[in-house]
Amino acid sequence: MTKSDLVEKLSEKVTTLTKKECEEIVETVFENMKKALHKGEKIEIRGFGSFTVRLRRAKEGRNPKTGDKVAIPEKRIPFFKVGKELRELVNC
């Protein structure tokens, strides 16, 4: 499912809104989620799951072409933990 599919489903469900208004709602939700994760905040959607940011520690890797050692710096990565209801729904 893509963002445009979400907009389409929302506009079908809420007939009082135009497609453009539905697109703005979906875009606003995603923008606010991105901003919250950027600030290091946790996003929890009950029954669906939670989004957090985790710190991946620095490590040493290798250049696949030359075999030389390469320092890989630590970085923050987004992480999703699936909620119980969604996990059970998927596993049915």
Digit-coded pLDDT (tens) for 46-55: 999 999 999 9
Banded pLDDT at 92 (limits 50, 70, 90):
confident
Tell me: do 28 and 52 sit in the same domain.
no
Contact 43, 80 (CB under 8 A): no
| Prediction pTM value | 0.80
Total domains in the chain come to 2
User: Which domain, by its residues, includes 27?
Assistant: 1-41
- Do 48 and 86 sit in the same domain of this protein? yes
Domain CATH for 83: 4.10.520.10
Helix 19-38 crosses helix 3-13 at what angle (to 10 degrees)?
130
Cα 88 to Cα 92: distance, rounded to the nearest angstrom: 6
H-helix or E-strand spanning residue 64: none
70 with 26, same domain: the answer is: no
